[in-house]
């Protein structure tokens, strides 16, 4: 007997929302758990996302496979799977040891699978299963808008972590809180099943009568694959080529999830607006993003983020329009998850191996250009002329003009220090002209390619061909030569080191000049800690610090990225060869390497392991400080490089010094203006007062500001209270 009562839509919606909320709350939580072992490289997050997409695909495959059973049996089986997965809770990192150097691309995903795999797999099946159970009711109507609730829950979970969970709870409390949420979700699933027990008992899935051709199935793969890859490539693009600021990965992922909510909404008004805007945004923001890449400004960041949101929403709206009937619901979601995983595999696994720059980003923009509906834009040319030959001529000439005008503008701007109003006006005219090319699919794709090539792609292609750039799991590095002879290593848009040419090649530069905190300490090491000092440096860069070495000293460098070691050993930069050719090199995570050394191994220990402006949380916790203290000899000195535009680290270190009972002082260096010396902030800490007293005679060192907030630990840390908001504008 079929229950004629309404299908309790609120209960199914709440169940889907809860599952998705938990999924995206756990993603940053597990990444935060792994931070002491993995650090904060952008590719760590991309690897995590790839694992989540693979688990989501497995969950959707499991949901599809359950379709052979009656709906009641499906519910009971799923409750059993949830119960078994619940045995792995609360979540905790397994003891897998240190990642082998060079194998991070495999080891990182494996760590995430072991940590969250069973629970994530079980919860990820929620959306298609709950929608299928809902759709079985004769009064249910279209089940697909429930997927909007799923992604709204995902968006809420993602925002809840940095805004609520991380600032307020320790990792242990977060894990237990997630476990309680899992139990509540289990109860909701049980409620959704047993609220309709009589209706579901003998109800088998409907016969799949609708035929779906291969072209439509290909769209089910491609339409989600491009936004998924674009989300990850935008994250990499932002953190590598624009600015590496804390929690930047949250923005692309959050907007990606929000795009599903709009694209799958039952009311199609907002989706239609995005479908109309997508071709325009793709051309304009794609051109601006590539044009401003490397300038580290909000224009490129805003253009990239806006492009992702609008294009992802348009593609997901088109995907919604391609949906099948409820009988093929689980198959549709399986294809969709497979597409998302394909985008992740391309961006997180293949791109770092195949490309020396973020080429995946412009390639995915071109793929989006081939897929976004052109809609009203195709009809604009018809208002001007209906003659096909005239249209072809206009498009060919337009393409030629767009490419060459954009190329001339890029060449002009590269020669200037900043753009003036005439440059912006010229860019606007070029982009408006390019929109005429949206009259045909081929010309539109070619217009996008022309803009991407002319406004920066061509110069990056030349750099790739010349071989002056390398890409590793930890970032993209390029070497440039200035007219004055200086050779520079860039990590994304951040200068990683500078070496002067000629007779001045041994002179320390950048943040390590002779008036910097580290320069003052190392140049006076004999007076501070005695002769024949043992010096350790976490973070190699180009080896600049090596030229502070004095006779009798023993030096050890710690570096996680083999590519950086390669640059410092192959003759590109000669600080090491000239000044400390016999320095020991410890390859791998510095915390783990330091922990393995005998106590009291160093008289001076320098911590300089920042990746652009990303915050190395795992190197600024009480546990990390205990490792540094253990590595220091009695009377030793610890130096922390805390220069940062976006986070106030001084009060954080002040709290660490207070908790660890360390003496501390800070030196803000403002060197005379020249293009190879930069201002820097260095904090000196020591268990005993003597080395700081000796160091304080070298400059006007001052005491640290008062400590703020709780001490950072491996179990609790949040940058949110220390963000310098005005520097984001």
Does residue 695 contact residue 712 with C-beta atoms inside 8 Å? Answer: no
Residue 399 maps to a domain: yes
Tell me the per-residue pLDDT of 128-165, one tens digit each, with 9 for 90 and over.
888 888 877 666 677 777 777 788 888 888 888 888 88
Residue 387 maps to a domain: yes
Tell whether 466 and 535 lie within a shared domain. Answer: no
Residue 1 maps to a domain: yes
Range 348-356 contact pairs with CB under 8 angstroms and sequence separation of 24 or more: 348/43, 348/46, 348/47, 348/49, 348/50, 348/232, 349/50, 349/105, 351/233, 351/236, 352/43, 352/105, 352/471, 352/472, 352/473, 353/105, 355/464, 355/471, 356/464, 356/469, 356/470, 356/471, 356/476
Tell whether 45 and 175 lie within a shared domain. Answer: yes
Distance from C-alpha of 483 to C-alpha of 264, rounded to nearest angstrom: 54
Tell me the per-residue pLDDT of 221-267, one tens digit each, with 9 for 90 and over.
999 999 999 998 887 766 654 444 445 667 888 888 889 889 888 88
Closest CA to 117 of 190, 195, 59, 185: 59
Tell whether 539 and 459 lie within a shared domain. Answer: no
Residue 317 maps to a domain: no
Mean pLDDT value of segment 438-457? 85
Alpha-carbon dihedral angle through residues 286, 289, 291, 294, given to the nearest 10 degrees: -150
Distance from C-alpha of 138 to C-alpha of 242, rounded to nearest angstrom: 52
**Domain boundary, last residue among 470, 502, 521:** 470
Tell whether 594 and 652 lie within a shared domain. Answer: yes
pLDDT at position 287, please? 79
Q: In which band, very low, low, confident or very high, does the pLDDT at 292 lie, cut at 50, 70 and 90?
A: low
User: What is the pTM assigned to this prediction?
Assistant: 0.79
Does residue 667 contact residue 514 with C-beta atoms inside 8 Å? Answer: no
For residue 92, pLDDT beyond 60: yes
Name every residue whose Cβ is closer than 8 Å to that of residue 531 and which is 6 or more positions away in sequence: 552
Tell whether 442 and 493 lie within a shared domain. Answer: no
Tell whether 433 and 565 lie within a shared domain. Answer: no
Residue 333 maps to a domain: no
Does residue 498 contact residue 567 with C-beta atoms inside 8 Å? Answer: no
Tell whether 433 and 550 lie within a shared domain. Answer: no
Tell whether 582 and 437 lie within a shared domain. Answer: no
Tell whether 587 and 689 lie within a shared domain. Answer: yes
Distance from C-alpha of 551 to C-alpha of 103, rounded to nearest angstrom: 37
Lowest-pLDDT range of 273-277, 491-495, 544-548, 625-629: 491-495
Average pLDDT of the residues of the chain = 84
User: By residue range, what is the domain housing residue 719?
Assistant: 488-728
State the CATH number of the domain containing residue 596.
3.40.50.150
- How many structural domains compose the chain? 3
For residue 525, pLDDT beyond 90: yes
State the CATH number of the domain containing residue 120.
1.20.1250
> For the stretch 68-87, what's the b/e string if a residue is b when 16 or more beta carbons lie within 10 angstroms of its beta carbon?
eebbbebbbebbebbeebee
Does residue 151 contact residue 261 with C-beta atoms inside 8 Å? Answer: yes
pLDDT at position 2, please? 43
Residue 348 maps to a domain: no
Tell whether 494 and 460 lie within a shared domain. Answer: no
Lowest-pLDDT range of 69-83, 202-216, 227-241: 202-216
Tell whether 433 and 571 lie within a shared domain. Answer: no
Q: How many CA atoms lie within 13 A of 672 on its CB side?
A: 1
> For the stretch 533-551, what's the b/e string if a residue is b when 16 or more beta carbons lie within 10 angstroms of its beta carbon?
bbbbbbbbbbbbbbbbbee
pLDDT at position 524, please? 96
Tell me which DSSP letter residue 161 carries: I
pLDDT at position 112, please? 83
**Domain boundary, last residue among 160, 175, 205:** 205
pLDDT at position 718, please? 80
Closest CA to 165 of 715, 725, 679, 724: 715
Mean pLDDT value of segment 349-371? 88
CA torsion through residues 598, 599, 602, 607, sign: positive
Tell whether 425 and 553 lie within a shared domain. Answer: no
**Domain boundary, last residue among 165, 181, 205:** 205
Rg (CA), the chain: 28
For residue 513, pLDDT beyond 80: yes
Residue 605 maps to a domain: yes
> Distances in Å between the alpha carbon of 653 and those of 167, 339, 370, 605, 633?
17, 45, 50, 16, 21
Residue 55 maps to a domain: yes
Closest CA to 333 of 235, 221, 410, 226: 221
């Amino acid at each position: 007997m079929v229950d004629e009562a309404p299908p309790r839509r609120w209960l199914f919606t709440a169940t889907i929302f809860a599952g998705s909320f938990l999924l995206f709350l756990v993603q940053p939580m597990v990444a935060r758990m792994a931070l002491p072992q993995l650090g904060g490289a952008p590719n760590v997050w991309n690897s995590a996302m790839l694992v989540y997409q693979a688990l989501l695909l497995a969950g959707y495959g499991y949901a599809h496979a359950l379709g052979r059973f009656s709906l009641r049996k499906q519910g009971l089986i799923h409750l059993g799977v949830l119960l078994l997965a619940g045995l792995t809770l609360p979540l905790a990192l397994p003891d897998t040891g240190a990642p082998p150097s060079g194998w991070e691309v495999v080891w990182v995903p494996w760590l995430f699978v072991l940590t969250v795999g069973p629970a994530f797999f079980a919860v990820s099946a929620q959306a298609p299963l709950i929608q299928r159970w809902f759709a079985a009711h004769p009064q249910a109507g279209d089940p697909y808008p429930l997927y909007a609730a799923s992604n709204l829950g995902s968006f809420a979970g993602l925002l809840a972590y940095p805004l609520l969970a991380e600032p307020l709870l320790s990792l242990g409390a977060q894990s237990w809180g997630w476990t309680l949420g899992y139990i509540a979700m289990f109860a909701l699933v049980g409620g959704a099943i047993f609220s309709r027990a009589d209706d579901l008992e003998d109800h088998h899935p409907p016969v799949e009568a609708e035929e779906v051709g291969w072209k439509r199935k290909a769209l089910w793969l491609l339409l989600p694959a491009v936004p998924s890859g674009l989300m990850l490539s935008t994250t990499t693009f932002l953190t590598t080529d624009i600015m590496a600021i804390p929690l930047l990965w949250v923005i692309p992922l959050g907007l990606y999830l929000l795009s599903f909510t709009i694209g799958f909404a039952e009311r199609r008004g907002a989706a239609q607006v995005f479908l109309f805007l997508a071709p325009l945004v793709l051309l304009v923001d794609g051109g601006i993003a590539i044009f401003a890449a490397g300038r580290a400004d909000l224009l490129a960041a805003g253009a990239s983020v806006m492009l992702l949101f609008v294009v992802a929403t348009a593609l997901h709206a088109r995907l919604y329009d391609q949906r099948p009937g409820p009988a093929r619901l689980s198959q549709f979601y399986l294809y969709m998850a497979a597409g998302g995983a394909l985008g992740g595999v391309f961006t997180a696994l293949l791109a770092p191996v195949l490309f020396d720059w973020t080429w995946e980003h412009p390639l995915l923009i071109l793929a989006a250009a081939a897929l976004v509906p052109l809609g009203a834009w195709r009809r604009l040319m018809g208002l001007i002329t209906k003659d096909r030959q005239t249209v072809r001529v206009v498009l060919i000439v337009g393409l030629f003009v767009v490419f060459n005008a954009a190329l001339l503008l890029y060449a002009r701007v590269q020669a200037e220090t900043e753009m003036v109003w005439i440059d912006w006006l010229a860019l606007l005219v070029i982009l408006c002209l390019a929109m005429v090319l949206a009259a045909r699919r081929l010309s539109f794709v070619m217009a996008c390619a022309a803009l991407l090539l002319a406004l920066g792609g061509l110069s990056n292609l030349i750099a790739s061909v010349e071989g002056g750039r390398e890409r590793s799991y930890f970032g993209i590095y390029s070497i440039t030569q200035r007219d004055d002879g200086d050779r520079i290593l860039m990590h994304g848009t951040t200068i990683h080191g500078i070496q002067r040419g000629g007779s001045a090649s041994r002179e320390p530069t950048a943040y390590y000049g002779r008036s910097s905190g580290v320069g003052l300490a190392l140049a006076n090491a004999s007076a501070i800690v005695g002769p024949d000092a043992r010096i350790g440096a976490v973070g190699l860069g180009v080896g600049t610090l090596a030229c502070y070495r004095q006779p009798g000293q023993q030096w050890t460098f710690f570096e996680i990225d083999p590519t950086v070691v390669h640059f410092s050993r192959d003759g590109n930069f000669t600080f090491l060869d000239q000044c400390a050719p016999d320095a020991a090199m410890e390859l791998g995570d510095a915390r783990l390497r330091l922990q393995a050394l005998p106590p009291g191994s160093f008289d001076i220990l320098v911590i300089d392991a920042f990746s652009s402006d990303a915050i190395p949380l795992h190197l600024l916790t009480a546990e990390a400080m205990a490792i540094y203290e253990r590595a220091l000899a009695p009377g030793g000195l610890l130096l922390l490089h805390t220069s940062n535009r976006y986070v106030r680290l001084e009060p954080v270190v002040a709290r660490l010094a207070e908790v660890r009972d360390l003496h501390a002082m800070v030196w803000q260096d403002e060197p005379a203006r020249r293009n190879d010396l930069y201002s820097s902030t260095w904090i000196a800490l020591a268990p005993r007062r003597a080395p700081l007293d000796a160091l304080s005679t070298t400059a006007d060192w001052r005491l640290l500001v008062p400590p703020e907030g709780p001490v950072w630990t491996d179990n609790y840390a949040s940058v949110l209270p220390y963000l310098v908001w005005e520097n984001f504008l």
